[in-house]
Chains A and B, each alone.
Chain A
Amino acid sequence: MAHGSSGGTPFKNPVVRWVDSRLPIFSMMVKEYGQFPAPRNFNYFWNFGALAMIVLMVMIVTGLFLSMHYTAHVDYAFNSVERIMRDVNFGWLMRYIHANGASMFFVVVFIHIFRGLYYGSYKKPRELLWIFGVIILLLMMATAFMGYVLPWGQMSFWGATVITNLFSAIPLVGDEIVTWLWGGFSVDNPTLNRFFSLHFLLPFVIVGVVFLHVAALHITGSNNPKGIEPKGPQDTLPFHPYYTIKDMFGSGVFMIIFAMFVFFAPNYLGHADNYIPANPLVTPAHIVPEWYFLPFYAMLRAITFNIGIPFTGVTIIEAKLGGVITMFGSIIVLFFISWLDTSPVRSARYRPIYKWCMWLLVLAVVVLGYCGSQPAEGLLVVVAQICTFYYFLHFLVLMPLLGKLERPLPLPRSISEPVLREPGAGPLPAGATAKPMEKS
């Protein structure tokens, strides 16, 4: 890296030169964020990685200052958060940024994941990059779940109770695991303490995995909306200034939306019940998780039936365990899609059938989110079951099959070809279309 394309130390400042010849971090920054060749055809979907990085830093900074005022004890937690809101200078701002920042984080990351699915960024050679991404998603979910417990309101308490109880569905050792998670016989002070400790730790673990995620990206290079590899310098742009500027513009728009929530609708995404102190004797009439967990919560509740051997009455998987497996499975399946998808074409732009399946998947997840927000009754249960079925069908059946059955559209010969092509140049030769993208 040190003696890479920049050819020795190009810096004029003597201090920078001195440091760089001993530890080439400046050369590395120039190489990885200055010259790093990025495909020239990024669209705005490629902003969301940078946005996620920004929110992660915002969360760590606001969280750090919140933790200076927060008390992790069942008798004081709720009041310490109220004190942050009323008495601590700008405490309201830090808390509202942190609480809404969690929502923004998930919006950004969900769009980022959609981008990867739509444009095939999980395919060879970016499998490991994708896997790191799924690990980040899991860590984020754990972090956000435990953070939501900290204010110790009714939703904090009952959300924690319902989610930790999921583990009791594990055969044989389930109850022991739940007692271990709680450090007692119910969600109580030991639980709150360890959740605070882990909530503080996990974001830094996320930083570590993000580093690996970005390092892997800089080995393979970025994908792009066409899903074909750059053929040479005419297909790429140096990251700086072209994409630093584009990312700055995107983050400006993003900050405006973020600020709208923080300043004008700070509790819109939250639940009023969480301003009632936790009460282990009274369950709120309607427990719902934060919006970003709703699709997964709906899948949990969609499994209302035992799975067994037909006509014998033998149950293999109880409904409760089935729901838990389905919910966790919906994320775990993402680890394997690099291999489940058999199509050599990355971008859905050139996959006429898969494209529609992708939008159906989005629809299924949005509908699941709605189902998760409502009481699980009547027709909604059936709707949630259909959407859950489609979710798994998409990854486990359609992805492997479509790669074989679908006829992709002709791929452009290179990223710059459609732009640089002389006017009047004819369509591509037929033979070029069926080849995998690397050779096209």
Chain B
Amino acid sequence: MADTTDSDGHTGTRRDFLYLATAATAGVGVLAFAWPLVDSMNPAADTLALATTNVDLTGVEAGQAITVMWRGKPVFVRHRTQGEITAAESADLSTLIDPEPDEARVINPDWLVVIGICTHLGCVPLGQRTTDERGEYGGYFCPCHGSVYDTSGRIRGGPAPRNLDVPEYSFTSETSIRIG
């Protein structure tokens, strides 16, 4: 095919068009093939299916706590003492790094349910056992880089940017919860 020169003096417009169209088609094809590969690395259906955990709370006295696994992560379930509840509820919101009132973080104030993963870089904070170091606010202390959480799991000091996450959960009876 000879170069086509249109009246405005553009040369090779048809061939240019073919080049572009071919490249665009190939580009779309590559992307269409790449997406399944990329998406295959996202959580698989069976990983997503393991998404709920039931927890029996009987026998966990005030001041005690249990740790359960949910989606491969530890979840802290803490039966708070009256003192811990008062401390959590009376905190001055304006002094918090990630301000959130305690009632927005619990369903029943006796029970604190949070994901036990430091929002800094993912270590498991200490504080589930009464003998653990719990930090200045009596909640949790992360040994990795020193983040300090209060009795509502809110970040009070150290490098972590956010409060401990509260998982989706509900009380299935007085003494049991379902997480997820």
Contact = CB atoms under 8 A, between A and B. Distances in A.
Given A158-B123, A320-B161, A186 B71 contact: yes
Contact of A286 (B41, B47, B143): B143
A431 B117 CA distance: 67
B93 interface: no
B43 interface: yes
A280 B41 contact: no
Contact of B144 (A190, A281, A287): A287
Interface stretch (A30-38, A159-167, A230-238): A159-167
Interface residues on A, range: 20 to 34
B114 to A, nearest CB: 15
Interface stretch (A87-95, A176-184, A399-407): A176-184
Interface string B135-158: 000000001111000000000000
Contacts of B124: 280-283
Interface in A172-213: 179-188, 190, 194
Interface in B48-104: 67, 69, 71-74
Contact of A186 (B67, B73, B120, B159): B73
A376 interface: yes
Nearest to B67: A281
A184 B121 contact: no
Given A190-B44, A194-B41, A318 B161 contact: yes
B173 interface: no
A165 B41 contact: no
Contacts of A281: 67, 69, 74, 124
Contact of A162 (B47, B73, B121, B146): B121
A180 B124 CA distance: 21
B47 A183 contact: yes
B42 interface: yes
A320 B120 contact: yes
Contacts of A166: 121
B162 to A, nearest CB: 10
B71 A180 contact: no
Interface of A: 158, 161-162, 164-166, 179-188, 190, 194, 280-283, 285-287, 301, 304, 318-320, 323, 375-377
Given A161-B123, A180-B38, A185-B43, 12 more contacts: A161-B121, A162-B123, A162-B144, A164-B122, A165-B120, A166-B121, A181-B41, A184-B72, A185-B71, A190-B43, A286-B143, A320-B121
